Structure 1
Amino acid sequence: MRGRFAPSPSGQMHLGNAWTALLAWLASRSQGGSMVLRLEDLDPGRSRSEYAAGIMEDLQWLGLDWDEGPDREGPNGPYRQSERRQLYQEAVERLGQQGLVYECYCSRAELHVAEAPHAGESEWVYPGTCRCFSREQRQKKLRSGRRPALRLAVPDQTLTFTDGLYGEVRQHLPSACGDFVIRRSDGVHAYQLAVVVDDGLMRINQVVRGQDLLTSTPRQLLLYRLLGMQPPAFTHVPLLIAPDGHRLSKRQQSLSLAALKQTGVRAERIIGYLAWKAGLLEQDQSAAAADLVHRFSLDLIPRQAVVVHDTEILGER
């Protein structure tokens, strides 16, 4: 069993990140598996080295170790996406050789390409505007100074997979996402492509991640098939949300691990609280991550979004 945690170093790690990291770590360790830490720093405009260092420090503080990662090289590295760009480009070329890639001149601002989708946000379905462009039309766009993104021509298919928590998921790709971007117009490879290449080459066979990525899994399964890679088993866990119903994000500084540590909250307090919310503990109590391995079961994890209160984590009633 090979699991992974793959955070983006674009901000301080918050309680929602810790939730996903804990459940991914427990899912692997409970089966005697190994853990891979991969830093998804593909976007140079958002990623910072200080955030990457902070993530590793926070994980170690929580007691969530890893067997391979940026500071612990293994046979499947490198473990930073910024050092794996050539692997993504090779995948693009393989897809192009199959006649499945075309240039798209639609603006990034309009389409919000290459970012991991988030629950609750409407996802724009690409209508294939540039798919049938003639050579003359493409040349005209290039002369205007517009740099193209690259899209994958999606087949008229419905993909089905069984999620470890939510069961059977079916998605008709053309109506759900349309032709999706695999490389942005600025040359940065898209999340959907990079995560498939990374998990495939790193031999990850179990992915536990947030429910916000559930709808993107079918297009990733398509990429696995086209690239001749074996897909992992997927389990998507519910998101942590604030009392007002909004998902936790890096903008909520009060629930960042750095802020919680500054207020004197111990790692065992956070782990125990998250384990209680996951149904692994019957009451809210402090616990070490290692002590929860034998308690882990997907059957206990709730299917609905989990509401968290900062007063709870701070021990106030």
Structure 2
Amino acid sequence: MIVQAYGTYASDKPLEAMKITRRTVGPHDVQIDIAYCGICHSDLHEVRDEWGFGTHFPCIPGHEIVGRVSEVGTHVPNFKPNDLVGIGSIIDSCKHCEECEAGFENYCDDMIGTHNSPIPDEPGWTVGGYSQKIIVHERYVLRIRHPEEQLAAVAPLLCAGITVYSPLRHWKVGPGKKVGIVGIGGLGHIGIKLAHAMGAHVVAFTTSESKYKAARMLGADEVVFLSSPEEMLVHVKSFDLIVDTVAAPHDLNALLILLKKNGNLTLLGVPPSPHPPLEMANLLSKHRAITGSMVGGIPETQEMLDFCAKYRVVADIELIHADEINDAYERMLKGDVQYRFVMDNATLAVV
């Protein structure tokens, strides 16, 4: 099946309209007509081959996918045409390793990403959601229970949402917990909303005065300027969890000392160069821990979507047409978006 898509033929070329081939629907497959696809910062890294993993070209990114089921395989009992569904960053895995059996497909050694992962189908690697349709094994399809009018704003939950939800859930955030969210961007703004919905006392950390009022409106109980020693000092040894979404090198020691005994600092960002050295005394003295986290498995992602539907959590988005993606990438590099771009995939038909 030939469908319209938007991607690039080389790392130094802009994205453009192109046609791609999708496989036929197999017995356990679900075909989805994509309505919207979120624009993630990792999409930009991949199309420009900035991670050093070796991007395959033509590259069609996009892993925050929402739409409607248009066809199901003969052995698919749980989905039917017209269902509202989503696809995140995982479209396959080995299905039988310890991680897969526990529902942590995101940590499977043979996890297949929604784009740029080797597969036997044409063109030899996965191509993502900047396209009209996608066909995925039923195991990796997620049900969306938000109202249809919120569908575009649900799309970023499939990556940004689960990325912040997973550590919040793992560290049992809820009433009586004090949680810090560092960075008020694509991930951080959803993190504030989720931690607030979970009932925690939420403190947002920022370096931008313009984000102060925005953070309070998102649900933060307090806002702290990272550049203010006086404001930081007030919170020493008081946090149960700090979720750091910043993808640039910065001083982790300043955050470590804010954790109480047994507190945790979870890192979500991947900086282009290492953070400054740790003062080990800050780590050891209160039995503090630094951990990393990446997206979530399929069961946890479904749990996150259901939680967000119940508490009316969606991303704050700017909806764009397909032919605005290159401009959106440049604006994203400048931080000129509040807080996520989402593509209207219906516009692929006219580019």
TM-score (norm. length: structure 2): 0.25
Question: Which structure has the higher relative contact order (CA within 8 Å, separation 6+)?
Answer: 1
- Judging by fraction of residues, say which structure has more strand: 2
- Judging by fraction of residues, say which structure has more helix: 1
TM-score (norm. length: structure 1): 0.27
